[in-house]
Structure 1
């Protein structure tokens, strides 16, 4: 159930990445289709979470929480890097679009840092993807292609989170029913 909760959180953040960042230079139809698809994907993961919650009841021997001290340290470091980095970007006069690139980079690194804490190297995969999309967006932010940063670092990061959450959620749900 803890894993499904993690997938739900990832799906919600993925949908937020897409909804907030699907904008110009994309045309309005494409942006709205992306937003609708992102919301539907998040709703699908929420449905999988509900189905799993109804089926599973915590038992006396349930394994230890994924959200222990190691997790809290990673999340605290993430918060410091997120907000501190945004202030640094503002102080440097970076374009506003660089903010989403920074967020994607930090969220990606947070997944990579959680892999050894949770002893689950599969979580490093979306971490690497988001880190690369964030880094790419930071590079784009210093070029004439700055308008594409929200698509690269925001929408594509959201799609990566949603695709992973739907895929692994579906695998988890179908594995339990098989």
Structure 2
């Protein structure tokens, strides 16, 4: 559930930061409210599960293994280094969100075999594709849509996954 909570928070941030023009104000506000409510829902589910689960000492899987740390270090280098390269190439600012979505997606795909959880590869593939589409759009007249495609939609994917799998965990815990 902690991974789902992290995904929900980042998903909400993706939506809140990137919901903007060319969308109208009402749509922007609805998206932001829905994202915050979804993240709050995942937090509530996390609290329900956390109260019920009291793992025995040593029974908890270590998410933060050496492989995880390598993937996260590579992700940080790619994120910040890539943004610097994009700036040096004088790419539109909107390209940054596409790059972030692309790298975050690849990071999920890379973590799937490390965590032996192929379910996280699915949002990874979707985020990678949304980031790639945004990178292409950034070179067109549709550049203003990059934050929506690569930011808002990526955030919605993270939130939908977190809510879905969080609900499954809560339902399984009460069965």
| Counterparts of 2:104 and 2:58, CA distance in 1 | 32
Residues 1:41 and 2:38 aligned together: yes
| Counterparts of 1:57 and 1:92, CA distance in 2 | 51
Partner in structure 1 of residue 67 of structure 2: 70
- Deviation of 1:66 after TM superposition, in Å, equals 1.4
Partner in structure 2 of residue 14 of structure 1: 11
Partner in structure 2 of residue 131 of structure 1: 128
Residues 1:154 and 2:151 aligned together: yes
Where do 5+ consecutive residues of structure 2 fail to align? Answer: none
Q: Any idea what SS the aligned residue of 1:66 has?
A: coil
Correspondent of 1:170 among 159, 167, 170: 167
Partner in structure 1 of residue 88 of structure 2: 91
Q: Any idea what SS the aligned residue of 1:26 has?
A: coil
| Counterparts of 2:167 and 2:124, CA distance in 1 | 20
Correspondent of 1:118 among 98, 115, 119: 115
Give structure 1 regions of 4+ aligned residues with deviation exceeding 6 angstroms: none
- Deviation of 1:61 after TM superposition, in Å, equals 4.5
Q: Any idea what SS the aligned residue of 2:121 has?
A: helix
Q: Any idea what SS the aligned residue of 1:143 has?
A: coil
- TM-score, length basis structure 1: 0.97
**Deviation by residue 1:53-105 (Cα, 9 ceiling, x = unmatched):** 11111203514311111100000000000000000000000000000000000
**CA RMSD in angstroms, aligned pairs only:** 0.7
Partner in structure 2 of residue 105 of structure 1: 102
- TM-score, length basis structure 2: 0.99
| Counterparts of 1:116 and 1:32, CA distance in 2 | 38
**Deviation by residue 1:141-177 (Cα, 9 ceiling, x = unmatched):** 0000000000000000000000000000000110110
